[in-house]
Amino acid sequence: MGVRVNWEAGTAKVPPVWAAYVLQFLSAVLPTLVIEGGILLAFQYDWRKNWKPFLLANLVTQGLLAVFLSQDMVKSGLSMYSAAIYSVILLPVEIVILLVELVFYRRFLVGHSRRRAAGYAVAANLSSYVLGWFVVQSVWKTVSEVFWLGCAM
């Protein structure tokens, strides 16, 4: 996502700032939901009984993460260089998210022990943190291209 310039027509199109925030949120939340949802099922939690706390925890924590990251990502975009920097900057934020989700899941996931819920929180967050860096760039590119196609119509 960025400025689109039509040199022949002498025009430039700048996306609205709100769209950049939405795109950043979607590029983070979609891979997280897929990765952590798969791990929820791998931990043998009943999806029908646990989808609400799963979705709530991830929307809230990813929303807060989006607020944290949005300013710089809107300014500089997501490059390999910034991804490497973000992986270091994000570590303390991801630790806070892990702790919040650990407490939340121990309380609200049903069907297994609190210990298993804590194990799920650790496995899910570590997996989405590591795997997310491989996926987020592709999702960002795809979502932003779809956004631009929608704006061009």
β-strand pairing of 4-6 with 11-13: antiparallel
User: In terms of pLDDT, which residue wins out, 90 or 130?
Assistant: 130
Tokens of 120: 């799920």
What percentage of the chain has pLDDT greater than the value 90?
Answer: 41
What pLDDT is recorded for position 40?
98
Q: How long a stretch of residues is the chain?
A: 153
* 114, pLDDT greater than 70: yes
Residue 136 exposure: Cα atoms within 13 Å on the Cβ side: 25
What pLDDT is recorded for position 80?
47
Q: Torsion over CA of 59, 63, 102 and 120, rounded to 10 degrees?
A: 50
* pLDDT 10s digits, 32-91: 999 999 999 999 999 999 999 999 999 999 888 877 776 665 566 555 445 566 667 778
In sequence order, the β-bridge partners of residue 12 are 5
What pLDDT is recorded for position 107?
97
pTM beyond 0.85, yes or no? no
65 contacts 97 by C-beta, under 8 angstroms: yes
What pLDDT is recorded for position 75?
62
Please tell me what DSSP assigns to residue 111.
Answer: S
What pLDDT is recorded for position 7?
82
Q: Who contacts 119 (Cβ-Cβ below 8 Å, separation ≥6)? A: 43
* 112, pLDDT greater than 80: yes
Over range 4-26, report the average pLDDT.
74
